Amino acid sequence: MTPPNYLEPTQVIRTFNRAAMSYDDVARLQMQVGEGLFERLAGVKSQPKTVLDVGTGTGYLLAGLKQRYKHAQIYAIDIAENMLHQARKKNRQWFRCSHYFICSDAHQLPLANQSIDLLISNLTLQWCHNLQQVLQEFARVLSPEGVLIFSTLGPDTLKELRHSWAMVDQASHVNQFVDMHELGDVLYQAGLVDPVMDVDWLTYHYPDVYGLMRELKNLGAHNVTAGKPLGLMGKNKFKAMLTAYEQYRVPKGLPATYEVVYGHAVGQAFRQITSRPSITTVPISQIGRSTG
């Protein structure tokens, strides 16, 4: 049986492809958290030769990475082709060639072992249906003592919306998110070294629930779990949820809380890594020489 919080990969791709054009207009959370990642990068003293942005979206991090690591080869991966198209348009001055943008699934990175010195990922892991597999891929492509730095969302994210729906029924209306301590265990099991995490809480306010749900849809961040209700939502249930959410209203409006988890780890130093037999891996040096 499919668990109720299982993410549907095809639905994730479809959702973010649809959201690509509107994404930057409402991506204040992604931008604010991205700035938090850059602040944490200040503690990384190494100068990487190869940098990979996994889940680049519309490429918000790329210009900052290029300015910070002027001599590095920087590559961007996203599962949604339309997102990559927007990232190429936005970063045309920094990236003249399209082969720096790779449409691929984070569960099977098409890169050679130990080919990346710095892997950064902003608010992507929460959309991955097999977190352990993704982190194992991160560990595989990181060079010895390469650095992983990431952000994701914790279980208190959208707690007001989740609790309001729970007053109505037991269906899965809001995406589920992994606890920081469980995430730490998965990082360790993937073979990543010295995992360190910290948490921040961000709260945004809306005049009504419709504004929140509209923003989530434009971000591609609405419910994509396999256990979500199918068919039309009864207006009485939706009205009951709206009423329940009103208990959280403050002078600024209705709050929506995001639990942001930041993580840092080091690659599997000097450890022999074997490729997945089902993956075609491409050395980074060969990507840069593509003539296609």
Contact 30, 122 (CB under 8 A): yes
Contact 249, 42 (CB under 8 A): no
Strand order in the sheet with 193-206: 101-103, 73-78, 50-54, 116-122, 142-153, 254-266, 193-206
Please give the structure tokens belonging to residue 24.
């930057």
Residue 269: per-residue pLDDT: 55
Please give the structure tokens belonging to residue 176.
């589920």
- What percent of the chain is modeled with pLDDT above 90? 62
* Matching residue, tokens 């995992």: 195
Residue 229: per-residue pLDDT: 46
Mean pLDDT in order along the chain per 10 residues (292 residues):
54 89 92 96 90 96 93 94 94 76 95 96 94 95 94 95 90 81 91 93 96 88 46 74 96 97 83 42 49 36
pLDDT digits (tens, 9 = 90+) for 182-212: 999 999 999 999 999 999 999 999 999 999 9
Q: How many CB atoms lie within 10 A of CB 50?
A: 22
pLDDT digits (tens, 9 = 90+) for 272-282: 444 443 444 44
Handedness of CA 181, 136, 40, 201 (dihedral sign): negative
How would you class 275 by CB atoms within 10 Å of its CB: exposed for 0-12, middle for 13-18, buried for 19 or more? exposed
Separation of alpha carbons 101 and 99, rounded Å: 5
Residue 274: per-residue pLDDT: 41
pLDDT digits (tens, 9 = 90+) for 126-150: 999 899 999 999 999 999 889 999 9
Choose the CATH number for 9-155+178-200+260-287 among 3.40.50.150, 3.30.565.10, 1.20.140.10, 3.30.70.1150: 3.40.50.150
Please give the structure tokens belonging to residue 80.
């949604």
Residue 277: per-residue pLDDT: 37
Residue 179: per-residue pLDDT: 87
Tell me which residue of 205, 199, 186, 203 sits closest to 260, measured CA to CA: 199
DSSP code at position 10: H
